[in-house]
Structure 1
């Protein structure tokens, strides 16, 4: 299977929603109608900076999803591309969609003059981590959340 990556179009809400819902189920974080509409509003409003990309199969069917946004790196004096979400449908895993999405994000970062593509993943997401270990460098940083 050949996998291509393209930007999600404004008229693809339900296609996007299928993959986004699958992502939520994978992480046991249900996607409510309210959450889906809010995230979609961010994706369709250029001022938010959030972008969505599909990995598509030979027939053009979306099989994977990535959400990204630029971020500033003050200590580095540069900007990076933050990969908030990466998901490949269960029946398409192992076909190269995850790799294609990561490579496309690297290309986008390079085209924009960004210094890095960065993301986090769950410690127990061993399948994804095997891919990440193959294509990227695991950092020494530990992530914390401070809830307001």
Structure 2
């Protein structure tokens, strides 16, 4: 089995989905890393899936950006206050959606890098053992 570390961003309530994307086990602990294993033959499928998740999160970041630029639906003060709170919740400040999205993307990118590194090390060890047997 191929062992690698999955990075879990330390995110507040707004980032619960981001933590789940990188590994719920460590997400419950408030971020860090979680150790996983995967069959080396399945590693590329995992990399492909994580890269698809990164692409989807990148697309969703555009929606968060749109929310931070939206206007109030009406001239009343309540619409204005609601719009300001929506912008804040969607924004890049700590706890905002764009902040959590960015943390999730970085965590997934690091996890992909960790899998690629572990796979390269595994293949190198496997080849070294094969060459040693051949003499």
TM-score normalised over the length of structure 1: 0.26
Q: Pick the structure with more helix per residue.
A: 2
Q: Pick the structure with more strand per residue.
A: 1
TM-score normalised over the length of structure 2: 0.28
Larger radius of gyration: 2
